[in-house]
Amino acid sequence: MGVDPGLNATGYGVVECRPGDVRLLEAGVIRLPRSHGDNLPARLETLFDGLREVMAEFHPQAMCLEEVYTHRDYPRTSVLMGHARGVICLAARLASIPVVSFPAKRVKQSVTGNGNASKTQVQRAVQNFFSLACAPHPPDVADALAVAMCFRDSRRPSANGWPPKRGPHRAPRRTRP
């Protein structure tokens, strides 16, 4: 399951990966009501509830996200996105779903072949890959599907066998001395 975090709309895409086949099961947007205005906790609760519904229906094996990107001119945006990302990680953790993160450039490279691809290029690549009649809209949906596709690509060994097949990254267990 790929997720593109946002505080107005969070895109998600659920795909099923089998050897030689990837199927799109569902994709959509969790809209965070503007009626909540600046009430960040209420918006995050809406996000949490929406994710729990999708996870309960599809039981994903992994939750895939882009790493938070900080633009020097808009540091507040990355802080707010961190809140949304934290809620997504918590929802996954409570459902015992591992979380996997990728840099945005790696996601774009995986889907389009260009780490600096535009949103439109990502939308078209996702449209072509899944043979969709039109590009996923809003772009948050395409971004979520792109992250899921990147996860699939990261688990497929290359011709030289690298990267090796392994489970999603998990934090080491803490042990008490």
pTM for this model (two decimals) = 0.83
CA separation for the pair 133, 153 (Å, rounded)? 24
pLDDT digits (tens, 9 = 90+) for 119-174: 999 999 999 999 999 999 999 999 999 999 999 887 654 443 434 444 444 444 44
Catalytic residue among 66, 73, 143, 153: 66
Catalytic residue among 45, 57, 140, 143: 140
**Longest pairwise C-alpha distance within the chain:** 58
Query: Which ranges constitute the DSSP H helices of 59-174?
Result: 75-94, 104-112, 119-129, 139-154
Active site residue 73: no
pLDDT digits (tens, 9 = 90+) for 61-105: 999 999 887 778 877 888 888 999 999 999 999 999 999 999 999
Helix (H) or strand (E) holding 49: helix 40-58
Structure-token match 């939308």, residue found? 123
Instruction: Tell me which fold the domain 2-154 belongs to.
Output: Nucleotidyltransferase; domain 5 (3.30.420)
Q: Specify whether the CB–CB gap between 107 and 147 falls below 8 A.
A: yes
Active site residue 4: yes
Q: Structural domain boundaries of the chain?
A: 2-154
